[in-house]
Amino acid sequence: MKPGSEKPQKFKALPVQDAAAKIIKAMEQDAFRVTVGSDARFMDIIYRISPRRAAYFIYNKMKSMLGE
């Protein structure tokens, strides 16, 4: 894929300010883990259930993004 020819996102991205606020709040509360965004929460759950399936999911997504 050529630079600048990225496909439009099919999901709503969390605004940077909101992501930063969640991370800072978690740090202030000494949280062990913080997931920012629905995609991160999804992957966290999938990885806890089946690490192998999560890795395969990421592999397939990356493969489709690269057009292979």
Tell me what the mean pLDDT of segment 40-64 comes to.
93
Tell me what the mean pLDDT of segment 50-63 comes to.
93
Q: Is the pTM of this model over 0.75?
A: no
Cβ-contact 35, 44 below 8 angstroms: yes
Instruction: Determine the distance from the C-alpha atom of residue 46 to the mean position of all C-alpha atoms in its chain, rounded to a whole number.
Output: 12
**14-39 tens-digit pLDDT:** 889 999 999 999 999 999 999 998 88
Share the mean pLDDT of the chain: 86
DSSP state string for 45-57: HHHHH-HHHHHHH
